[in-house]
A and B are shown apart, each in its own frame.
Chain A
Amino acid sequence: MAAQPSTALQLYPVQTDCIPDRFEEKRCIRSGQEALASSPSSVSVPERASSAIAIIPVMQWEDLSDEALIARYRSEERSSSAELYLNELFRRHHVKVARWCLGFTGDRESAADLAQEICAKAYQNLPSFKGQSKFSTWLFSIARNHCLNAVRARGNAPNMTSEEEVIDTLPDMGGHDPFAGLERRQAADLARQIMNEALGETEKVVFTLHFSEELPLDVITRVLKLENASGAKAYLVSAKRKLEKAVSRWKARAQGAIEGEINGR
């Protein structure tokens, strides 16, 4: 079993081929301990120190990365200390998860329920964490999907924007739809191009969250921590107005190009 982090100094035999990294750090400790355990009990500490022992300060919790905590948890999963590593791991991210959930629900009780569900889901799926991303990024994926699903499942809540309202607030294309006659992919590319030309970064994000994820505006305001008076609604109204103008300009340019082509003939 690996030693618990403490401020004390402990003696660990050091293997010269043991180079700690994010996931191998626990292997060093373990191999050191195994060597220590296999050494004769009658050998005094100075004798052992002279053979292959160095003094290494035992790490504190802060010295262990998230990934090192997971590695230790996995290596000691059946021991009583395994849960300590896990508790420390999740304790580090409680605030992130709490803030995230509070943004989605707006009240602390529901947010606590959501946060508890997210932590439980992360715990249950921990075996599938491969370390290809940071643990917090992996946790974000779980939190993001869980909260979006929860909002969709509670879509009949009174403060939820209805589907009709969502559709009606899409930009008005006027008499001539520039997307008419285009293939789906071409239409999407054109819409994306117009968005990038016309909208600011926050406007694009609000627009995307509202129309793609169908998040209510109050949720978007809280999740993005928008501090202006009208929150996400102001960005959405602004985005819609800018897109309508951009479409008009695009149509004018297209019309001019067509006329130019005709005149050229």
Chain B
Amino acid sequence: MADNNKSREAWRAAVSTTGNCLSINDLERLAESVPLPDEKLNAHLAECPRCQTELAMLKNFESAAPAHDEGAAVAWITAQLGRNSLKSAPQTAVAGRLGFFRNFFRNSYAIAAVAVALIIIFSVSLYISEHQAAPQLNAGLNNPNPGQILRSQSIRLIGPSGDLKGLPENFRWDVYPGATSYRVELTEVDGTLVRQETVNQNVLSVTPDWKSLIHTGKPYNWQVTALDASGKAVVSSSREHFRVGTVKP
């Protein structure tokens, strides 16, 4: 056993670095077929498997053309390298972690595990949303009735609505708690704004200015937005449709 260990040591020592091994600069000269200035270095190279190996590796590194079966992979790697800026290049540890995640997602079972986790998260969130108490929808407003819970965040529009015999006298909607003013918008069906006006009550009189903009037979939409004291929009109604003059009196 002792002899066997001795021989192992000898073989390992034979292929290990010695104090006389060539420097990287000497190896570079040899790789470029430039003769070494010192004959002792040439003699050492002839005897040292280690230096011969280093030289072979350097030559291999310097040889440019990829083997026939690795061209595509090399092109892919160089594209990756080209994409990443050197200054933003990850440190070794970070790159190692990225490598871990790449390997992780390369495995089909890992993808399956992620899918299962997403299904569980979705199911739990669905369960919670169905069993949660309804939120207080007028939160954030200066509600005059703190105990009142509104089931809708929309403003209910009263009229005008649908096909009308004549021009409407006013636009009317329900009071929205906490709103200090309302912005009324009249639009064409394609969303083009015809006119807007802000009022402090839940009614807007259709003045001659408004009437001049509402044409018989043309459909319009209108919408009300509740504003708080700072003029910030709190909630908007749905759009209500109306058209004048399509119903025979």
Contacts and interface: CB of A to CB of B under 8 A. Distances in A.
- Choose among A90, A137, A180 the residue with the greatest number of B CB atoms under 10 Å from its CB: A137
Contacts of A224: 56, 60
A83 B87 CA distance: 9
A225 B49 contact: no
A141 B25 CA distance: 11
B61 A119 contact: no
Given A94-B78, A94-B81, A116-B95, A140 B58 contact: yes
A170 B80 CA distance: 40
A108 B73 contact: yes
B53 A108 contact: no
A108 B77 contact: yes
Contact of A109 (B16, B62, B102): B102
Contacts of B25: 132-133, 137
A18 interface: no
User: Interface centre among B25, B57, B95, by most A CB within 10 Å?
Assistant: B57
Given A95-B64, A173-B4, A190 B10 contact: yes
Interface in B193-209: none
B16 A113 contact: no
B143 interface: no
A205 interface: yes
B98 interface: yes
Given A137-B24, A188-B13, A111 B6 contact: no
B92 A117 contact: yes
A120 B92 CA distance: 8
Contacts of A109: 99, 102-103, 106
B92 A123 contact: no
Interface string A70-97: 0000000000000100110011001111
B61 A123 contact: no
B47 A133 contact: no
Interface stretch (A4-12, A56-64, A207-215): A207-215
| Interface size class of chain A, counting residues whose CB lies under 8 Å from the partner chain | 35 or more
Contacts of B76: 108, 112
A209 B87 CA distance: 34
A123 B85 CA distance: 11
A170 B7 contact: yes
Interface stretch (A26-34, A44-52, A191-199): A191-199
A205 B84 contact: no
Given A86-B86, A132-B25, A179 B64 contact: no
A136 B2 CA distance: 45
B52 interface: yes
A171 B86 contact: no
Contacts of B13: 184-185, 187-188, 191
Nearest to A123: B86
Nearest to B67: A225
A102 interface: yes
A28 B63 CA distance: 33
B10 A187 contact: yes
B228 to A, nearest CB: 49
A116 B56 contact: no
Nearest to A179: B10
Contact of B87 (A115, A123, A133, A144): A123
A167 interface: yes
B183 interface: no
A171 B3 CA distance: 13
B8 interface: yes
A259 interface: no
Contacts of A117: 89-90, 92, 95-96
Contacts of A120: 86, 89-92, 95
Task: For the complex of A and B, list the 9 residue pairs with the smallest distance between their C-beta atoms, beginning with the closest.
Answer: A188-B13, A191-B14, A120-B89, A177-B3, A187-B10, A98-B77, A113-B99, A212-B15, A208-B53
Interface of B: 2-4, 6-16, 18, 24-25, 27-28, 31, 46-50, 52-53, 56-58, 60-62, 64, 66-67, 70, 73-74, 76-78, 80-82, 84-87, 89-92, 95-96, 98-99, 102-103, 106
Given A195-B15, A196-B49, 14 more contacts: A83-B85, A83-B86, A94-B82, A95-B64, A95-B74, A102-B70, A116-B95, A133-B28, A134-B28, A179-B9, A187-B13, A195-B14, A196-B46, A212-B16
6 contacts: A94-B82, A119-B89, A120-B89, A137-B28, A208-B50, A224-B56
